[in-house]
Amino acid sequence: MTMPIVTLTTDFGLKDHFVASLKGALYAAIEGVTICDISHLVSPFDIQQAAFTLGHSWHRFPEGSIHLVGVGPAPSTRFNHIAFRMKGHYFIGANNGLFSLLSNERPDEIVEICPAGAEPTAFPALDVYVPFTAGIAAGLSLASIGTPIEGLAELIRPRHFPEDDVIKGSVVYIDSFGNLITDITEKEFESVGQNRRFAIELIGDEINSISRRYSDVDEGDKLALFNSEGILEIAINQGKANQLLNLRLNAVIRIVFNQ
């Protein structure tokens, strides 16, 4: 058996000792483990952002990877802690809704590893998740380390259902380049659009074509492209779209197709 990779997605920041304590405990519990940071700069308690960041990267890792998440209002008397398996990957974290935003896939198996309010300390990533991560890394089945439960706690995302000639979506993430990432998929765009001409409506402006690369337009020009995840991005070649197009997180994006 190859040693699995453990990834870490947290809001712990990079200055304090939290990440180091967690990694030290993982190295001590799982000899030879490879640990990979997803991000520790998730905004405090921002489970949407954490879901976006992990959601855009987990599936790149080899099957068998264990994704440990320490973000959000947790520990809490309201949330239990869970481990689950999805497409050959394992996830461990608080059942606070974050995982329901991660993917359109459904988990194959979910177990509760710590009931709500039963955390032994204020640092469950260290005191609860590490031993269960070690168990999974050692090849234990989820059923043998926790109590099976049915579904993930769900966070409802506002979803705009496509009409015949219009797709509505929102800006769900703004990356550090200022690119505006929406929740509109290439699949939806193709299915509604059927190769018709279209306008992606911006404030007092519009985009009428899909680029493949940022540099397909001149420096400083706006563009739209489907990123590596097949998600619509509004960007400016070598510029900050969020500032120049005056669009914020959760702004509504409309694509109108020619009738």
Q: Does the CA dihedral 117-118-123-129 come out positive or negative?
A: negative
E-only strand ranges, 40-80: 66-70
Q: Which of 47, 58, 98, 255 binds a copy of itself (CB under 8 A)?
A: 58
Contacts with a copy of itself by CB under 8 A: the residue count is 72
Burial 51-88 (b: 16+ CB within 10 A, else e): bbbbbbbbbebeebbbbbbbbbebbeeebbbbbbbbee
Specify the stretch interacting with a copy of itself by CB under 8 A; choose among 48-56, 157-165, 197-205, 244-252.
48-56
Q: Does 143 bind a copy of itself (CB under 8 A)?
A: no
Report how far residue 100's alpha carbon sits from residue 62's, in angstroms, rounded to the nearest whole number: 21
75 binds a copy of itself (CB under 8 A): yes
| Nearest approach, Cβ of residue 53 and a copy of itself (Å) | 5
Among 149, 164, 182, residue whose Cα is nearest residue 251: 182
CB of 42 to a copy of itself, least distance (A): 8
Using CB under 8 A as the binding rule, whether residue 218 contacts a copy of itself is answered as no
Toward a copy of itself, which CB reaches closer, 125 or 168?
125
* In the complex, least distance from residue 100 CB atom to a copy of itself, rounded to whole angstroms: 18
By CB under 8 A, tell whether 76 contacts a copy of itself: yes
Query: Which is closer to a copy of itself, CB of 23 or CB of 160?
Result: 23
Shortest reach from residue 12's CB to a copy of itself, in Å:
8
Say how many residues make up the chain.
Answer: 259
The residues in 7-36 that bind a copy of itself, with binding defined as CB under 8 A, are: 7, 12-25, 27-28, 31-32, 34-36
40/168 with CB nearer a copy of itself: 40
Q: Taking CB under 8 A as the rule, does residue 104 contact a copy of itself?
A: no
Contact flag: residue 61 with a copy of itself (CB under 8 A): yes
Q: What share of the chain is helix, strand, coil (3-state, %, to 5)?
A: 25, 30, 45
Interface with a copy of itself (CB under 8 A), residue from 47, 68, 74, 241: 74
Beta strands 198-202 and 34-39, pairing class: unpaired
**H, E, C per residue of 98-143:** HHHHCCCCCCCEEEEEECCCCCCCCCHHHHHHHHHHHHHHCCCCHH
Site for a copy of itself contains 60 (CB under 8 A): yes
Binding mask 174-213 for a copy of itself (x = CB under 8 A): -xxx---------------------------------xxx
The residue (of 61 and 256) whose beta carbon lies closer to a copy of itself is 61
> Which residues lie across from 15 on neighbouring strands?
none
Tell whether residue 52 is a contact of a copy of itself (CB under 8 A): yes
> Residue 10 forms beta bridges with which residues?
70
Q: Cα(19)–Cα(125) distance, rounded to whole angstroms?
A: 10
